[in-house]
Structure 1
Amino acid sequence: MNAYERFEQLVVIALSLIIASVILMALLQLCRRVVPLVIGGAIDPLDHDVFQALFGSIFTVLIALEFKHSIVRPALRRNSIVQVRTVLLIALLALSRKFVILDSAATPALTIAALGFATLVLGIVCWLLRERDKDDLRECDKDE
């Protein structure tokens, strides 16, 4: 392992620790706010505003977990840090979160259409990458 690869691993470890602590704090804050409301019966899951706030917070923690995973996994395999498919999937998660917390009454239709179009484009790119990977695997199988 050369000096740059060691440096890259140190950066990944540092980022991983920072992100893990942020995730832990976010999870603790989420539990601190939600558990008393659930125990007290104050949360009405059918109330749209409560649903948006609760699942927006949960999505935020999930996105952070996936982000941390996308940094650690390639480092353990000693691949490049940038994984295009993972970045696209995180973007799709972030857009999904946006749709969950979106106030459709206050958001212009053009903004909603743009978010929908961005989601569609990201989905198509993910599909194209998957198809390319399938073709690459078929080529490898033919060569053997």
Structure 2
Amino acid sequence: MSAYERFEQLVVLTLSLIIALVIVIAVLQLCRNVVPLLIGGAIDPLDHNAFQALFGSIFTVLIALEFKHSIVRPALRRNSVVQVRTVLMIALLALSRKFVILDSGVTPASTIAALGFATLVLGLLCWLLRHRDLSE
């Protein structure tokens, strides 16, 4: 392994440890905030605002997990190329989170249209990449 490859491995290890720490803290904070509310009945999962806050937080943790996975996977394969499809999937997860926490009554229609267009384009790119991989 060259010096640069060892450097990449060190950077990936450092980043994955930092992201793992952030994920653990986020999960602990989520549990600390949500579990007492659920047990005490103070949070109604059917309440739209509570649903947005709860699932927005869960999506944030999922995005961080997928981000960590996208960094670690190439390092384990000794392949320094991050897969484009993985980056697109993370972007789709982030857009999905945005749609979940979006307040359609307050958000301008142009913003909703732009987010929808971005989702459509990312989905199309994922489909094209998958189609390309299947035809090879």
**Residue type at the aligned position of 2:14:** A
Question: Could you state the TM-score of these two structures normalised by the residue count of structure 1?
Answer: 0.93
* CA drift at 1:63: 0.1
* CA drift at 1:80: 2.2
**Residue type at the aligned position of 1:124:** L
Q: Distance in 2 between matches of 1:59 and 1:115?
A: 17
Percent identity of paired positions between Structure 1 and Structure 2: 84
* CA drift at 1:16: 0.3
Gaps of 5+ in 1: 137-144
Q: Distance in 2 between matches of 1:96 and 1:129?
A: 20
Q: Does 1:91 align with 2:87?
A: no
> What residue in structure 2 maps to residue 111 of structure 1?
111
* CA drift at 1:62: 0.3
**Residue type at the aligned position of 1:129:** L
Q: Distance in 2 between matches of 1:81 and 1:30?
A: 33
Counterpart of 1:45 in 2: which secondary structure? Answer: coil
Contact kept in structure 2, 1:63 and 1:90, CA below 8 Å: yes
> What residue in structure 2 maps to residue 75 of structure 1?
75
**Residue type at the aligned position of 2:91:** A
**Residue type at the aligned position of 2:57:** S
Q: Distance in 2 between matches of 1:118 and 1:35?
A: 34
> What residue in structure 1 maps to residue 52 of structure 2?
52
* CA drift at 1:81: 3.8
Equivalent residue pairs, number: 136
Q: CA RMSD in A?
A: 0.6
Question: Could you state the TM-score of these two structures normalised by the residue count of structure 2?
Answer: 0.98
* CA drift at 1:54: 0.2
Runs (4+) off by over 4 Å: none
Over residues 77-136 of structure 1, what are the superposed CA-to-partner deviations in whole Å (9 max), with x where a residue is unaligned?
Answer: 111242100000000000000000000000001110110000000000000000111111
**Residue type at the aligned position of 2:28:** L
